[in-house]
Each structure stands twice: as C-alpha cells, then as structure tokens.
Amino acid sequence: MFADRDDAGVRLGARVRAAARREGWSEPLVLGLARGGVPVALRVAEALDAPLDVAVVRKISAPGRPEFGVGAVTADGPVRYDDAVLARLGLTPADLREACEREKAEARRRLEVYRRGRPPARMAGRDVVLVDDGVARGVTARAALRALRHAGARRLLLATPVCAQQSMTELRDAADELVYLAAPAPFGGVGQWYRNFDQTTDDEVLAALAAR
C-alpha cells in the first residue's frame, strides 16, 4: 500500500536508480504517462537526476462502457487494440473508428497544453523510462512503449509502483525491462493500492514538468 503518488515515486525512484547503475545507462530520460503517472515520474526523474517529459495515451472504450478499455492511441501513432477483448465483445476496429479519431485529437490537445510550445524531448539513442502510477491490463502502457520504440529510444524501461501479474508477459515483450514494487494477486484496480488516489489535475502535471 502506498500513501500517495509522491510516496510511490520516491520508492520507485530508488529501485530504478539501482537498475540504471547496474546497466550503465546513456542519457536517461523519464516520461510520465499523463496524468497520474507524471507525479510518480517526477520523483523517479529526481532520483536519476534526469529530465522529465510527458507521454499522452488515450484509452479507447467499448461503446456504452466508458470504464472498459479495448484499445489505446497516442497523438500520432497507430491505434493498438486488445484483439482478444474485441473478439469477446463482437467488435471490429471499424466500429471504433470515430472513438479512435476523437481520442487521438484529445491526445494532441493535451500534449499542446502540457508542453506549452516546447518541442518533445529527443528519444533517439537515449535510455527512456516510462512511468505510470499502476498497470492493470497494460493497453495504454504498451501503446506508449511502441511509440517510444518507433521514436528511436536506445533502451526502454517501464517503471510502475504496482503491476497486475497477468499483464507482465506482454509488458516485458514491449519493454526491455520492467521495474515494479508490487505485483499483488488478485489485483483489482490500481487505486486500491493507494491510500490517497485523487485524480491528478492538469495543473499538477504542469507543475511537475516545470520542476525538472
């Protein structure tokens, strides 16, 4: 159980710093998955004395079920669907085309808000740490990792305080390394592993980015 995202980030940062020293990283860059991953990523960036940037991935929900994600999309990358879930629900990518375009546009809008005209950080040749506040099914994390790989990251590490065991195989396939503090089973939801899991605001994201 973590007190809040700040507590989780401090504890995760120590674990990631140990991994960085062991592997001899090159120009590490930390990215927080907006919004909840950014406060955690700030503490990881501090532990590594590394710059912080933001990654925006938008969940694509099943029609009529906003809480149930069937895919994810970044601002400029291809959509990633969970094919097994689509088949179980009897959906096709064509059924979700409008939702996909809507979420892609929202990802672009959020990046503009968070970066405030700053260009994205250089990925090519760097060791990139993607941080989220918790990973359940991992669809958004995998979409972000694929985009970072396409951008030329030398090495990709996914770091999260808490991770569902059933997602680990696919996450390890998408990243070069997975660092986590807890992998409880049964998992439930990410929020149940935090005493304080209030929604992260845009202002908090901007403050974290300004701090690094």
Residue that the structure tokens 């159980």 belong to: 1
| Residue 208, phi then psi, degrees to nearest 5 | -65, -45
User: What is the torsional sign of CA 121, 131, 52, 26?
Assistant: negative
CATH topology of domain 5-56+119-211: Rossmann fold (3.40.50)
pLDDT value at position 24? 82
Q: Show the tokens assigned to 2.
A: 């973590």
pLDDT value at position 30? 98
Q: Write the DSSP string, 133-164.
A: S-BSS-HHHHHHHHHHHHTTBSEEEEEEEEB-
Q: Identify any residues that bridge with 124 across adjacent strands, giving them in sequence order.
A: 153
pLDDT value at position 171? 93
pTM of this structure: 0.92
What is the tens place of the pLDDT at every residue in 26-73?
A: 789 999 999 999 999 999 999 999 999 999 999 998 888 877 889 999
Could you tell me where in the chain the CATH 3.40.50.2020 domains are found?
5-56+119-211
Under-50 pLDDT residues of the chain: none
pLDDT value at position 83? 87
